[in-house]
Amino acid sequence: MNDAGPVRSVRLTANLGLWLAVAFTTCLVTGVLSHYIQHPPGWFHWPSRPVQLYRITQGLHVASGLASVPLLTAKIWSVFPKLFAWPPVRGLGHALERAAVGLLSAAAVFELVTGVLNIAYWYRLMPFGFIGAHYWTAWILAGALLLHLAAKLPLIRGLAAEPRPAPGTGGWTRRGVLALTGTAAGAVTLATAGQTVAPLRRVSLLAPRLPGVGPQGVPVNKTAAAAGIVRVDESYRLLVTGPAGRHALSLADLLALPQVGAELPIACVEGWSAGAAWSGVRVADLLRLVGAAETDRPVTVESLQADGPYRASVLEPGQARDPLTLLALRVGGEPLHLDHGYPCRLIAPNRPGVLQTKWVAKVTA
């Protein structure tokens, strides 16, 4: 590509592309990690410690994705005149290069648009399954990005060997465009990062969720009404099943067991997170009641919720035995609000919020 004017240039496009590649790579790695945690292949194991790890990785995923929006906009602007160059194709190699760029652009736009729709909970605008479409398009984007970088590598090497041009004067300059783009990416990050970084909550005007806003000071994604849970009465029993038998525990029975407190975050896949003081019964203590204290098998936790993709979740043996993995009965010293999973919910360290099962009805080892 030759310079298309005093501002648009090969060097400007290359710099924007580098920034975008860093943001996309961060977003891809953290996004694939989150997908594997929620839908683990047989070889994948996610530890329960450090406690805050998922909160950090998923916060980075959403932040890097949102920062990519102004970066991608500037990148497309920098090459916009080239999109209408004539002739549009100058041979087979050029045709393949343009096809790869088209695939890269389409995949990038799809990922960013669906990602924003997801964190804003505008699922009605997506007439397809978000999880599968977003995940597989991410791999298409990664492949197209690698092809694009390989095609442009000689050009990037040439730019690195050239002396940097003197900054322009008057009007817009390349440095000015880079500064504006970086400022926009930073502003978007600040305007949303407060959903997981509490000190930034006052400047995070675009964050869909904020720490401290919700029942008992903790945000909620799915309410009890949305899950079809109208009320839980005195007939409630928690069924705990293991090698040594089965126990049906009332709420009074659960409260009579040793109570343990833990400071743990709810870290949602949409990028928000909030810490809270939970207390309840260790899952390990429940497993001990049914002879599964040393289980090397996964533990299934099921909800009163009748259906839904996350009405049940699975704890790996190490997670189930972790002393911070609780069936919480209280948050902030109060009995759980129904929207937080009354009478008890799973709360475990380093785990996505969608896997912190609410309204727990069964624990099976």
Q: Which domains, ranges and CATH numbers included, belong to the chain?
A: 10-203 (1.20.950), 217-364 (3.90.420.10)
Q: What is the structure's pLDDT at 90? A: 84
- The strand pair at 238-242 and 360-364 is best described as parallel
SS3 content of the chain, % helix, strand, coil (to 5): 50, 15, 35
Predicted model pTM: 0.89
Q: How far apart are CA 33 and CA 27, in angstroms?
A: 10
Q: State the DSSP code for 168.
A: P
Q: What is the structure's pLDDT at 97? A: 81
Q: What is the structure's pLDDT at 316? A: 95
State both tokens at 81.
Answer: 């005149």
Low-confidence residues in the chain, pLDDT < 70: 1-6, 160-171
Angle, helices 174-193 vs 10-38, to 10°: value is: 20
Give the torsion through C-alpha atoms of 229, 230, 233, 236, to 10 deg. -10
Q: Find where tokens 């009320």 sit.
A: 231
What are the start-end ranges of the H helices in the chain?
10-38, 53-79, 92-119, 130-161, 174-193, 224-227, 251-256, 283-289, 317-321
